[in-house]
């Protein structure tokens, strides 16, 4: 469930960034990043890295199963494939929301 935790962290960070952007528009003052928190780009990079790792693991298990490895069964392969699929879809949804948030910010009246 670490991929869902990362998605929640990314969405939380996006909400913070949106609130900061709205504050800047209403009162132009420098806003410091949250103390002790990771930057959004770091969280996004970690999430993409985790999804990549899930996909690589899934691919390796599929290959081992196809080659007849007795230590890999179909259940493991299917679970790994579903984890990779869910992680990719969650990351895709975050990307879509990020693009939408960017478009919303760019369309705000000054």
pLDDT at 51 over 80: yes
- pLDDT digits 0-9 by tens, 6-19: 677 777 777 777 77
pLDDT at 35: 55
Phi and psi (nearest 5°) for 82? -70, -40
Phi and psi (nearest 5°) for 39? -75, 160
Per DSSP, 31 falls in state -
Count Cβ atoms below 10 Å from residue 87 Cβ, excluding itself.
24
In three-state secondary structure terms, 25 is helix
Average pLDDT, the chain: 82
pLDDT at 75 over 80: yes
pLDDT at 34 over 60: no
């Amino acid at each position: 469930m670490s991929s869902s935790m990362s998605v929640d962290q990314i969405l939380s960070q996006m909400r913070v960034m949106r609130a900061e952007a709205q504050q800047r528009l209403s009162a132009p003052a420098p806003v410091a990043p949250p103390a002790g928190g990771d930057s959004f780009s770091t969280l996004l990079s970690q999430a993409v890295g985790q999804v990549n790792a899930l996909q690589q693991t899934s691919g390796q298990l599929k290959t081992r199963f196809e080659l007849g490895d007795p230590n890999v069964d179909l259940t493991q392969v299917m679970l790994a494939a579903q984890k990779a699929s869910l992680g990719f879809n969650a990351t895709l949804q975050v990307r879509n929301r990020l693009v939408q948030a960017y478009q919303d910010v760019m369309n705000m009246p000054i």
